Copies of this chain bind each other. A is one copy, B any other.
Amino acid sequence: MTDRYVIGVDYGTLSGRALVVRVADGAELGSAVHPYRHAVVTDAVPGGGRRLPPDWALQVPSDYLDVLRLAVPQALAAAGVDPADVIGIGTDFTACTMVPTTADGTPLCELPRFAGRPHAYVKLWRHHAAQGQADRINALAAERAEKWLPRYGGFISSEWEFAKGLQVLEEDPEIYAAMDRWVEAADWIVWRLCGRYVRNACSAGYKGILQDGEYPSRDFLAALNPGFADFVEAKLAQPIGELGAPAGRLSAEAAAWTGLPAGIAVAVGNVDAHVTSAAANALEPGQMVAIMGTSTCHVMNGADLHEVPGMCGVVLGGISAGAYGYEAGQSGVGDIFGHFVHTAVPPAYTEAAAAAGVSVHRYLTDLASAQAVGEHGLLALDWHSGNRSVLVDHELSGVLVGQTLATRPEDVYRALLEATAFGARTIVETFGAAGVPVREFVVAGGLLKNHLLMQIYADVLRMPLSVIGSDQGAALGSAIHAAVAAGAYPDVPTAAAAMGRLRRNAYRPIPGNSAVYDELFAEYTRLHDHFGRGGNDLMRRLRALQRAALTRKASL
C-alpha cells in the first residue's frame, strides 16, 4: 500500500479541492483548488435577465465538472504521483444542494429550453426561499405527529430536499414535471463519475427524511399539495449506498476528465461535515467533531437511538455504517467574528494591526488573550444568524449586555468568542441530557488556528479539546472513503485509524477559568432561555417591525 494512492475531492460553497493521499498512512501529497466560475448565483441566472428574488442561491452544475477536469490533474501533478497508482476516488459535497435532472442525470438548466428558468438550476444549501414550504411541512408534521419529526429535533429545514422540491412544484410546475430526478449534488457528482445513480445514506437521512427505511408518506405529501403526493417515488427514491461502499467504477469519460485510470473505485457520495469525522479518526460514540468555520457543524456517532431536542438530525449510518450519526449546528460562528472585524473595529486598531503585520483578528485576539476571565464585564448571545441548535429559530438575533464607556473592541471580540463557546456547551449539555453523552470535543476547520478560541472552548466545555491533524479535513475524509471503496481497508473506522489524524488533548481546561465560565454560562443560559424560549419574544417582534418598515418604505 506504500505506493498506492487515493483522491479525495471536497466540493465547498465557492470552490472544489482535490487532494492526493497515500493509502498506507494518509499522507497528503498534493492538492489543488478550483473556484467555481459562477460561484453562487444570487442576482440572475447566467445569460438571463430575470432578477432572482431575495434568499435565492443557485449554482451551475458544469462548474462541478471543471473541478474534476482541472483540480484533479493539478493535484496529481503537485503530488508527483503516477495516476496509474491511484486506486480510488471519493467525494464530499455541501448539503442540502439539489440538482433537478432528466432520467439520465442531465441537469435541466443544460436543456436549452430551460436555460433561462431559475428553478432549472442547482439550489445551493443556502437557498432560503423555501421557508414558506418548510413552515407548512413542520406545521402539518407536528399536527399529524409524524414519527420522523423528532428525528430532526422537531423541525425540518427550508434548506432540505422536501421544502426545496415543493417550492419547485408550486412556483414552476413545468420544471417540476420535466424533472425526472431530484438529486443531491453529492450523488450527482458520483453519478457523473461512474455512470450509476446511488443515493448516499448520509444525505438521504439528514436531508431526505429517510428514517427506518421510509420516507414521509404519500398521505402526508398529498395533504401538503395534491401534486406532491408521488414526490418520493417519482423524483426521489433510489437505492441507498452505505458510506465507504463503492458506487461503481470510474467511467471512460470521467477518466478522460481527470487523467485517472478508468475502472478504479468511485466511493458513494458524502457530506463535507460528516466525512470529516473519518479524517479526524473520531468515529467512536461520544467523540463530537465540530467543523468550525463561518458556522459550526457538529457530528457524532452514538451507539443507540435517542431523540435530542433541537438537533439537526439522527441517521443510522449517517456518519459511518452501523452507528447512529447525530448532527447539530451553530449557524453563526466565524462569520460573527468576521462581521465584527469588518464593521466595528476603529482605524486605530486596524492601523496598529497593519503596523504589526498581523490580521485584525490576530491583533484583537492578542489583546483579548491578556484578559482574565470575566474582566471585560460583557455577555453576548451568538445568534446573529439565528439559532440552529437547540432552539431552531432563525428569527433570533444577537445580544450584547454590559457595555460601559470603558468597553474596548477587544472586550467585545472576546465576548463574541465566548458566546459561541457557550452555544457549543448548550449543545453538548442538551445531548448529554438526552442520553447521548459527549466525551471528547474534536475541532476541525479553519478556526482551530485561533489558540485563544480553542482554550476558551476547553475552559467553557470543561473538556479536553482534540484537534484534527489536517487542514484539508473534508478532502482527506473523502480520500479515506475512497480507500475503503477500493478495498484497501475493510471498513471506514479501520481506514480512519490508519489514515486519519487527531491531536488528542491539544487544549486542557484551566480549572480557575472554568470556574468563572461556569458562572458566565449560567448567565448565558438565563439570557438564552429568556430570549429564546418565550420569556421575551423581542427579537421576533424586532424582525417584524423591520419587515414592516421596509415594506412601508418600498411602497413610498
Contact = CB atoms under 8 A, between A and B. Distances in A.
Interface stretch (A62-70, A426-434, A476-484, A541-549): A541-549
B409 A344 contact: yes
Contacts of A384: 403-405, 407
A71 interface: no
Given A344-B409, A530-B536, A549-B516, A404 B376 contact: no
Contacts of A332: 405
Contacts of A111: none
A373 B550 CA distance: 9
A283 interface: no
B403 A549 contact: no
A527 B523 contact: no
A398 interface: yes
Interface string A364-389: 00000001111111110000110000
Contacts of A304: none
A402 B539 contact: yes
Contact of A397 (B350, B371, B377, B531): B377
Contacts of A543: 377
Most buried by B among A405, A412, A519: A405
A335 interface: yes
Contacts of A546: 374-377
A2 interface: no
A400 interface: yes
A405 B336 contact: yes
A299 interface: no
A342 interface: yes
B344 A347 contact: no
B403 A550 contact: no
Q: How many copies does the complex hold?
A: 2
A397 B408 contact: no
Given A344-B344, A402-B397, A530-B536, A548 B374 contact: yes
A65 B375 CA distance: 43
Contacts of A144: none
Interface string A335-368: 1100100111111001100000000000000000
Interface string A162-204: 0000000000000000000000000000000000000000000
Nearest to A545: B374
A526 B516 contact: no
Contact of A542 (B346, B378, B552): B378
A228 to B, nearest CB: 32
A445 to B, nearest CB: 18
B542 A523 contact: yes
A275 interface: no
A419 to B, nearest CB: 11
Nearest to A516: B545
A84 interface: no
Contacts of A401: 397-399, 531, 538-539, 542
B343 A343 contact: no
Contacts of A342: 346
Contact of A399 (B372, B400, B412, B516): B400
A541 B335 CA distance: 29
Contacts of A373: 549
A113 interface: no
A397 B546 CA distance: 25
A51 interface: no
B403 A400 contact: yes
Most chain B C-beta atoms within 10 Å of own C-beta, residue among A336, A398, A545, A550: A545
A536 B402 CA distance: 13
Contact of A552 (B372, B402, B552): B372
28 contacts: A342-B346, A344-B344, A344-B346, A345-B346, A346-B346, A346-B347, A346-B350, A347-B347, A347-B350, A372-B549, A374-B545, A374-B549, A376-B546, A377-B543, A377-B546, A384-B404, A384-B407, A397-B403, A398-B402, A399-B399, A399-B401, A400-B403, A512-B552, A516-B549, A519-B541, A523-B541, A523-B542, A530-B536
Given A336-B405, A398-B407, A401-B539, 16 more contacts: A345-B346, A346-B346, A347-B347, A375-B549, A375-B550, A377-B543, A384-B404, A385-B405, A398-B402, A398-B403, A399-B399, A401-B542, A402-B539, A402-B542, A516-B549, A527-B536
